[in-house]
Structure 1
Amino acid sequence: MKELYNIVFEEEIPKYIQIANYIKKLIDGKKIKDGEKLPTIRALTDMLEVNKVTIVNAYKKLKSDGYAYQKVGSGTYAKKREVISLFNREYSKIIKSLTLERLEEVIDFTGETNSEVYFPVAEFKDVLNEVLDRDGANALIAKEALGYENLRETINKSFWDEELDIKNLLIVSGAQQGIDIASKAIVNINDNVIVEKPTYGGAISVFKWRRANIFEVALEEDGIDLIAFEEILKKNKISCFFTMSYFHNPTGISYSKEKKLKILELAKKYDFYIIEDDYLSELIYDNNIIHEPFKKLDKYDRVIYIKSFSKIFLPGIRLGYMVTPTSFNEIIQRSKINTDITTSSLMQRALELYISKGYWKENIDFQREEYIKKYKLMKSLIENELNDYIRYIDPKGGLYFYLEIKNKNITSKELFYKLKKRGVYITPGSIFFKDSVDGDYYFRISFSQTSEEKIIKGFKVIREELS
């Protein structure tokens, strides 16, 4: 072991920094394995012939930089720094390169938001003009850190039957910012968080950035595996659980009421918080699914609720809202202010008027009628064209299907590249896992950005490549 820690010190740099940087290189170079116990403070003090405080400070720096964690009474352990996989980077670059002109030529099954053809531009333009006529310059320059008060009141009235305390509601720039703000408030370096397996890649990125220890729990047809979930809770102090309660991204699964109630009880029992991203719950196609998010059932004040208007309304307006537990009000509001001070006043006022005039409900009803046609078409094609090659769970809502390749003769990454050559784009499952290899035989296909004609054509190509 002494040969491994062969450090030649430089005079200009503090020794504890040199030691920390040296151990980082050993971890990155896999000479020290992830989870391997580091030498005791006394042992490393003797090996390097430095004082005890130097080693203590070096280990503190390793922990603060996300390269080590401590087990009480056991010692300090190496932690491999999480990095985004090369494929994830390449996939992101490829999808971002699809310009509007290119989208006309290809079949895009990767979309996560509604199609612009379903957005009433003329109607929203009238609302914007009405806001400018009514509020003048205030519509452009007014700054309200927690969000436009009338919008917050309208959200409470229109979506929550005035059940919320408006002090707990703040406007954010979409769900991603909401997750980021919540994590800054409740997740510190080396804290433990639980996510669903698979889950939204943006959430994984946030928790990795916070240098959190991420535990994954597999999904069943009505939510996470509760037995595996509680086993983690028994053995580890958990800060939060991130969940997408309706039409989960990417699986399309929605939680049963029974599981939601049980998880809320566990949150109280084991003292953790739930970050709930209520994703696409407006697009329910089955009357047996009732919209009753965790927050609605939360009698313990354990849920940080996040809702984006961008996914279902118009991505370009970048608006959403959070409902926070009273105990976290101050810290979450401070985190929001430190992030961007304020969100577009004009768009907030326009959205408030759009909702209060009843246009929001009309547009959502229209979208639901249009999307259910594509949902039924895609479901039919899956069952009739791909039945020999894939398995799936019917989401009964949302904008996509999550498919598992049955015979494992091709990975979803390989399928992605084959389809790309033929102008068809899918989302490989690896994007949604902490460790990308876990999603090798899954892929997501969305119908939000694709016409019915292109859906039929695209499925023919997918069938040919799978066969």
Structure 2
Amino acid sequence: MEKYIFELNEEEPKYIQIANHIKNLINSKCINDGEKLPPIRKLAEFLNVNNVTIVNCYKKLQSEGYAYQKMGSGTFAKRREVMQKFKNEYSKEIKNIINKNHGDIIDFTGESLSDLYFPIKEFKEVLNRVLDRDGAEALLIQETLGYGELRETINNAFWNKRFDEEEILILSGAQQGIDIAAKAIVNINDNVMVEKPTYGGALSVFKWRRANIFEVPINDDGIDIKLFENILKKNKIKCFYAMSYFHNPTGASYSKECKLKILELAEKYDFYIIEDDYLSELIYDENLNHEPFKVLDKGNRVFYIKSFSKIFLPGIRLGYMIYPDGFKEVMQSSKINTDIATSTLMQRALELYIREGYFKGHIEILKKEYKKRYNMMRNLIKDQLSDYIEMKEPRGGLYFYLKLKDKNISSKELFYRLKDKKIFITPGIVFYKDIDGGVDSFRLCFSQTNENKIKEGIYVIKEVINKWRI
């Protein structure tokens, strides 16, 4: 305990001073990665401060990435650069793949659709029609909530006129939607809940808001409800971020029962749900119905976010949000503070594309083509990798999340070994904020790979893991 001794001053809050001291100990390696920090009461007594001071100190360390909490076990140190260094390297490698468009690699990381399925001909026709019809107006007029006719068409085509168009906000992609929703409901030191693991972009938003992030594990049909409510009983949660269909990275989809229970808890404990409806257009199992939180929401609790980038044209950066009643002014303000307005021309073109029925036809083509890849990869994983990995079938989407059976093999090291063979996977640790998360898991996306590359890639993965075990 001696290393925790230092002199407190009267100028700044004690919890900040203690947190800074512990950060220095972690950075100087006086506290090792994964080392358990002293229990709250013990450290409070040792430093002659109250328990709340240490609680706030540990929350600050967690929010800044210097500590993580294990339920029932305590708080543990995390040296940020260990995790961040790898994430930065991984990001650099993936950007290199995208920018240079290597033809000799097998990319199991890409989440966007193959350019083979971009509806260029139809979209070009729609763009020309919009320019002929609207002229300069298509480029000049901006509306904060988004192009009115697009909001109306979205409401008609996808929601059977369920909502008021004033509750629909056009976005420059799902990431902006998460950011805007967070600005509306999350302040400094507020508590938010996320799935474990979860989308790194959402974690970045909440960290930027300087929120305290709580995690709850995700199962086959949604989060662990019992643990979720235990956290709610002990902490005032502002919002819960969820990917309701084909969760990234696990591929899990929420059951109706789980969604209804979470909505019930939202009413009971007074929190909002930010629903990221990720890839629900790509359902391959006829027994899986599309019924998002927003459809079931009776208590005005759900911010629903949908992106067109993943399943349409990534370059147009369009999506939309349906927000709860009463948030119009704050939504407009948050949107203006972000980018004022989204491309008017692209909005008008998308509106016509949806209204003319092109979008529905495009989705049917995608489902047919990607279902082939899905079935092929699923069968190859079962046939070739079942001795080495555990797999739960996602029933849709663009990827599989696999768990290594051999605990001596890490997904991070597997990434490096496959990289040497020009095969790229996404290690599970990319999706966790804890330093020990996802070490035994990895994700394989099939959106950027044809059938031949899927076969070759799976065979090489088997070969690499098999050699590792010998």
Equivalent in 6, 11, 16 of residue 16 of structure 1: 11
Equivalent in 2, 13, 27 of residue 22 of structure 2: 27
- State how far apart, in whole Å, the 1-side matches of 2:200 and 2:348 are: 31
Matched, 1:225 2:224: yes
Unaligned runs of 5+ in 1: 8-14, 45-55, 69-76
Aligned-pair CA distance for 1:102: 4.0
For 1:269, the equivalent position in structure 2 comes to: 268
- State how far apart, in whole Å, the 2-side matches of 1:18 and 1:396 are: 51
Aligned-pair CA distance for 1:220: 1.3
For 2:353, the equivalent position in structure 1 comes to: 354
- Whether the aligned pair in 2 keeps the contact of 1:389 and 1:405 (CA below 8 Å) is yes
- 356-365 or 137-146, which deviates more: 137-146
Q: 1:420-442: CA deviations, max 9, x gaps?
A: 00000000000111114210000
- Whether the aligned pair in 1 keeps the contact of 2:104 and 2:422 (CA below 8 Å) is yes
Aligned length: 437
Classify the secondary structure of the residue corresponding to 2:372: helix
Q: 1:268-324: CA deviations, max 9, x gaps?
A: 001000000001000000110110000000001100000000011011100000000
- Whether the aligned pair in 2 keeps the contact of 1:194 and 1:240 (CA below 8 Å) is yes
TM-score (norm 2): 0.87
Classify the secondary structure of the residue corresponding to 1:327: coil
For 1:205, the equivalent position in structure 2 comes to: 204
Distance 1:80 1:324, change over 3 A: farther
Distance 1:79 1:387, change over 3 A: closer
- Whether the aligned pair in 2 keeps the contact of 1:108 and 1:450 (CA below 8 Å) is yes
* CA-atom RMSD in angstroms: 2.8
Classify the secondary structure of the residue corresponding to 1:132: helix
- Whether the aligned pair in 2 keeps the contact of 1:254 and 1:395 (CA below 8 Å) is yes
Classify the secondary structure of the residue corresponding to 2:436: helix
- Whether the aligned pair in 1 keeps the contact of 2:8 and 2:14 (CA below 8 Å) is no
Aligned residue runs from structure 1 range 10-89, under 5 A: 16=11, 23=18, 25-30=20-25, 85-89=84-88
Distance 1:123 1:336, change over 3 A: same
Distance 1:191 1:89, change over 3 A: same
Q: Aligned AA for 1:85?
A: Q
For 2:133, the equivalent position in structure 1 comes to: 134
Matched, 1:445 2:447: no
Distance 1:5 1:163, change over 3 A: same
Aligned-pair CA distance for 1:395: 0.6
- State how far apart, in whole Å, the 2-side matches of 1:442 and 1:78 are: 22
For 1:74, the equivalent position in structure 2 comes to: none
Distance 1:134 1:219, change over 3 A: same
For 1:4, the equivalent position in structure 2 comes to: 6
Unaligned runs of 5+ in 2: 32-36, 67-74
- State how far apart, in whole Å, the 2-side matches of 1:274 and 1:322 are: 13
- 444-453 or 16-25, which deviates more: 16-25
- State how far apart, in whole Å, the 1-side matches of 2:77 and 2:375 are: 46
For 1:48, the equivalent position in structure 2 comes to: none
Q: Spell out structure 1 runs of 4+ moving beyond 4 A.
A: 17-24, 31-40, 62-68, 77-84
Q: Aligned AA for 1:30?
A: L
For 2:338, the equivalent position in structure 1 comes to: 339
- Whether the aligned pair in 2 keeps the contact of 1:66 and 1:81 (CA below 8 Å) is no
Q: 1:43-69: CA deviations, max 9, x gaps?
A: 78xxxxxxxxxxx9xx99x9799679x
Q: Aligned AA for 1:460?
A: Y
- Whether the aligned pair in 2 keeps the contact of 1:27 and 1:80 (CA below 8 Å) is no
Distance 1:384 1:420, change over 3 A: same
Q: 1:120-158: CA deviations, max 9, x gaps?
A: 211111111111111111111111111000000000000
- State how far apart, in whole Å, the 2-side matches of 1:394 and 1:80 are: 33
Matched, 1:190 2:193: no
- State how far apart, in whole Å, the 1-side matches of 2:178 and 2:308 are: 14
Q: Aligned AA for 2:6?
A: L
- Whether the aligned pair in 1 keeps the contact of 2:63 and 2:207 (CA below 8 Å) is no
Classify the secondary structure of the residue corresponding to 2:257: helix
For 1:53, the equivalent position in structure 2 comes to: none
Q: Aligned AA for 1:149?
A: G
Distance 1:150 1:392, change over 3 A: same
Q: 1:398-425: CA deviations, max 9, x gaps?
A: 0000000012221000000000000000
- State how far apart, in whole Å, the 1-side matches of 2:422 and 2:288 are: 36
Distance 1:424 1:270, change over 3 A: same
Aligned-pair CA distance for 1:466: 1.1
- Whether the aligned pair in 2 keeps the contact of 1:27 and 1:34 (CA below 8 Å) is no
- State how far apart, in whole Å, the 2-side matches of 1:249 and 1:456 are: 23
Identity of aligned residues (%): 59
